[in-house]
Amino acid sequence: MKLDMHVHTRYSPDGIGEVKDLVGAVMKKGLDGMAIADHNTCGGAIEALKLKRPDFLIVPAIEITTLEGDILAYGITKPVKRDMTAAETVEAILGCGGIPVAPHPCRPLSGMGETVVKSLYGRMPAIEVFNSKESCRRNDRAAALAKELKLGGTAGSDAHSIVDAGNAYTIFDGADCLDDVLALLEKGRTWGEGEKTPAYVVMKQKLKTAGLFVGRGFKRI
């Protein structure tokens, strides 16, 4: 199976995509499913699961804001407290049966960075090794870090609209259902690849994110 493991919907403060529209966009790119990982809410994932499409797999997820960068939690449908340390967040994710993964680890501000990722060794089975909105250099470094630590890799478009949804995917060899996907992810037996999102789309998103950041009084999502 090929799944885009990092998609945002209108439930994210900076997202505008409707769940049904995002499903259609990702299907058109030939993928088998996607993980909906909105910022600090499972609302989008829950809505998607209610569609109950037998031809398209939804992986429930959430992107959690921590004091040291964002963390993706897969396989959960209840929110995890935000603004804890990365270590505390990982333990909270594991405590509710989720699987923690470091998204865009080399991104300034919202990435955890190599030092924090290494400090979580043994508690986190994978790193996002390809993010469609990241530079080649940062993606390459993330992939090198995953290989150095012998961790699995994921890939996601980090889409916030239908324009770029499905631009990246994670390969789950032999998976047929959600349980298979989560088992492979937990064992670190995945890898990801994809294509870069056009620069104008990334810039438009960055400008929107910056505006929202200022509007929140310089507080993170």
Task: Express each pLDDT in 147-204 by its tens digit.
Answer: 999 999 999 999 999 999 999 999 999 999 999 999 999 999 999 999 999 888 887 7
8 A C-beta contact, residue 157 and residue 166? yes
Which strand (E) or helix (H) includes residue 20?
helix 19-28
The pLDDT assigned to 213 comes to: 63
Provide the CB-side half-sphere exposure for 142 (13 A, CA). 31
- Rounded mean pLDDT, 19-42: 98
Q: For all residues of the chain together, what is the average pLDDT? A: 95
Distance CA 79, CA 81 (A): 7
Under the banding of pLDDT at 50, 70 and 90, the label for residue 55 is very high
Distance CA 60, CA 7 (A): 11
The pLDDT assigned to 209 comes to: 66
The pLDDT assigned to 220 comes to: 72
CATH number for domain 2-215, candidates 3.20.20.140, 2.40.30.10, 3.10.110.10, 3.40.50.720: 3.20.20.140
The pLDDT assigned to 23 comes to: 98
- Rounded mean pLDDT, 112-117: 98
Q: What is the pLDDT of residues 78-111, one digit of tens each?
A: 999 999 999 999 999 999 999 999 999 999 989 9
User: Which two tokens mark 31?
Assistant: 């993928």
- Rounded mean pLDDT, 33-37: 99
Write out the DSSP string of 89-134.
Answer: HHHHHHHTT-EEEE-STTSTTTS-HHHHHHHTTTT--EEEEEETTS
The pLDDT assigned to 216 comes to: 64
User: Which two tokens mark 82?
Assistant: 């935000």
Q: Is the pLDDT of residue 114 over 90?
A: yes
